[in-house]
């Protein structure tokens, strides 16, 4: 079998994810998530929308200054002011800084929102990409509402922005409307009808309004997309975005029929999911794939019997592969620092020595009055004592 094709993971938890109601984060909180995404080894993290607010500008700047591995993207509308502001924050990442500029391309958006013609939209997009390319060769263009865009027009604008310098072209399903076979056909159409398409990476960005964001992203990969945009726990506008853990584990688990891979260190998935929940307060439904509380729980006797005999009878991936250690040591008053620190790390906490000491003292005091200390108790201790970077 040939070497699996690498799919780039573009995480937008800190931008599109943050747009979900109740998910807004402080600069420090965004930085903590960014560190976790760095550990997880995503290829690109979209840190925010610098023109949107002073706070978001500072968060993108701080992330660009601090995070070392992944590329750092910042969103901008297709105008000079947004693009200049985005680069002002992103320039600290050097050649890992990516300007992500977008404009809507569907008739419905052009008519009612932009009040622009097709020619005007192409002209604006090309101008924006050229301006961004003046700052960095790492430019992504998104055709907002691409899925409801007339295909020949979509092909025309994609060709024009690639000529103008876009190195990634994103084809978003902004409203979560498409179906896997339709999305597959759209990506194929672009592959076959845009003469310069091979000069850019095709990216996909799916919303989950019909619960199909992961299925659509997988279909697009099969059609030739090279980058998937996604968020931790699938948070995002309305019904959310394509969930990072689902698409990554889908590719990892079914490499037998999908010859693709990612560089995500999947053992950090669970801690990242928990950290996001702790920070935003947005809980994960118990039956959520991969990271839900029941994702690896077996209730029915027949299933319990099966997994006791041989795990693969009812488990298609191991809990350890997402960093969920089911053989956790019980934490109580006899537990030492080592087990305590290990558990904190598995919950996504990356604390200084001084903070660990403070938390450890609190833990011991609690353990004196409580038989067993649960993860929720540790969350409360950390939230009370520390919660800062
Ligand atoms: O959903 C969408 O179209 C977006 C773009 C800005 C990429 O989030
Ligand atoms: Zn989106």
User: What is the Å distance from ligand 1's center to 28 Cα?
Assistant: 25
> In this structure, which ligand is nearest to the CA of 231?
2
**What is the pLDDT tens value at each position of the chain, 389 positions in all?**
679 999 999 999 999 999 999 999 999 999 999 999 999 999 999 999 999 999 999 999 999 999 999 999 999 999 999 999 999 999 999 999 999 999 999 999 999 999 999 999 999 999 999 999 999 999 999 999 999 999 999 999 999 999 999 999 999 999 999 999 999 999 999 999 999 999 999 999 999 999 999 999 999 999 999 999 999 999 999 999 999 999 999 999 999 999 999 999 999 999 999 999 999 999 999 999 999 999 998 767 777 677 778 888 888 999 999 999 776 677 888 888 888 998 888 887 888 899 999 999 999 999 999 888 888 889 889 887 765 43
User: What does the block give as tokens for 126?
Assistant: 């090309």
What was the pLDDT predicted at 141?
99
Give the Å distances, CA to CA, from 326 to 58, 296, 320, 345, 346: 39, 9, 8, 15, 11
Ligand nearest to the Cα of 82, by number: 1
* ipTM of this complex: 0.99
Q: Which ligand does the CA of 173 lie closest to? A: 1
Q: Angle 151-164/180-193 helices, nearest 10 degrees?
A: 50
- So what's the pLDDT on residue 387? 55
Residue 328 C-alpha from the chain's centroid: 28
* Cβ neighbours for 148, distance < 8 A, ≥ 6 positions apart: 106, 107, 108, 175, 177
| Beta strands 71-77 and 97-104, pairing class | parallel
- For 233: left if phi > 0, alpha if psi spans -120 to 50, otherwise beta; the answer is left
* H helical segments located in the chain: 27-40, 54-66, 80-90, 107-109, 118-135, 151-164, 180-193, 213-223, 244-253, 269-280, 301-309, 337-346, 353-369, 375-385
Rounded to whole angstroms, the Cα distance separating 219 from 229 reads 14
From the list 281, 278, 221, the residue with the least C-alpha distance to 251 is: 221
Q: What is the pTM for the complete model shown?
A: 0.91
Which of the listed residues 20, 205, 230, 238 should we mutate to test ligand 1's pocket, taking the one with most ligand atoms within 8 A of CB? 205
Task: Return binding residues for Mn(2+).
Answer: 16, 205, 207, 241
Distance CA 316, CA 296 (A): 10
Q: What per-residue confidence (pLDDT) applies to 311?
A: 83
Dihedral (C-alpha) 299, 304, 310, 313: value to the nearest 10 degrees? -50
pLDDT (0 to 100) of residue 213:
98
Name all residues whose Cβ lies below 6 A of ligand 1: 16, 102, 142, 144, 170, 172, 174, 205, 207
- Cβ-based neighbours of 70, under 8 Å, separated by 6 or more: 37, 38, 41, 42, 43, 44, 45, 96
Cα 66 to ligand 2 centre (Å): 25
Q: State the distance from the centre of ligand 1 to the C-alpha of 361, rounded, in angstroms.
A: 46
């Amino acid at each position: 079998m040939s070497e699996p094709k690498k799919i780039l993971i573009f995480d937008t938890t800190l931008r599109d994810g943050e747009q979900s109601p109740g998910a807004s984060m402080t600069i420090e909180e965004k930085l903590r998530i960014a560190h976790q995404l760095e550990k997880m080894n995503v290829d690109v993290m979209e840190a925010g929308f610098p023109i949107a607010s002073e706070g978001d500008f500072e968060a993108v700047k701080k992330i660009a200054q601090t995070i070392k591995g992944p590329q750092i993207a910042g969103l901008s509308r297709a105008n000079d002011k947004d693009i200049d502001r985005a680069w002002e924050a992103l320039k600290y990442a050097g050649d890992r800084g990516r300007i992500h500029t977008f404009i809507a391309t569907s008739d419905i958006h052009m008519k009612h929102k932009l009040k622009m013609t097709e020619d005007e939209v192409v002209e604006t997009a090309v101008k924006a990409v050229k301006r961004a390319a003046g700052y960095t060769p790492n430019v992504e263009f998104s055709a907002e509402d691409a899925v409801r865009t007339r295909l020949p027009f979509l092909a025309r604008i994609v060709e024009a922005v690639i000529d103008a310098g876009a190195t990634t072209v994103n084809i978003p399903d902004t409203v979560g409307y498409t179906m896997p076979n339709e999305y597959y056909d759209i990506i194929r159409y672009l592959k076959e009808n845009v003469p310069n398409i091979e000069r850019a990476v095709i990216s996909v960005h799916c919303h989950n309004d019909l619960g199909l964001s992961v299925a659509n992203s997988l279909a697009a990969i099969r059609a030739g997309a090279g980058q998937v945009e996604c968020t931790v726990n699938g948070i995002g506008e309305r019904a959310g975005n394509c969930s990072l853990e689902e698409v990554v584990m889908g590719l990892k688990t079914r490499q037998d029929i999908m010859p693709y891979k990612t560089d995500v260190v999947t053992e950090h998935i669970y801690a990242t999911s928990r950290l996001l929940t702790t920070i935003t307060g947005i809980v994960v439904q118990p039956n959520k794939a991969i990271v839900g509380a029941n994702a690896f729980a077996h209730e029915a006797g027949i299933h319990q019997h099966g997994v006791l005999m041989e795990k693969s009878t009812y488990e298609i991936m191991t809990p350890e592969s997402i960093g969920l250690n089911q053989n956790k040591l019980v934490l109580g008053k006899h537990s030492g620092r080592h087990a305590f620190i290990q558990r904190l790390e598995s919950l996504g906490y990356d604390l200084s020595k001084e903070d660990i000491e403070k938390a450890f003292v609190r833990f011991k005091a609690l353990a004196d009055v409580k038989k067993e200390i649960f993860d929720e108790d540790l969350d409360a201790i950390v939230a009370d004592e520390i919660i800062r970077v």
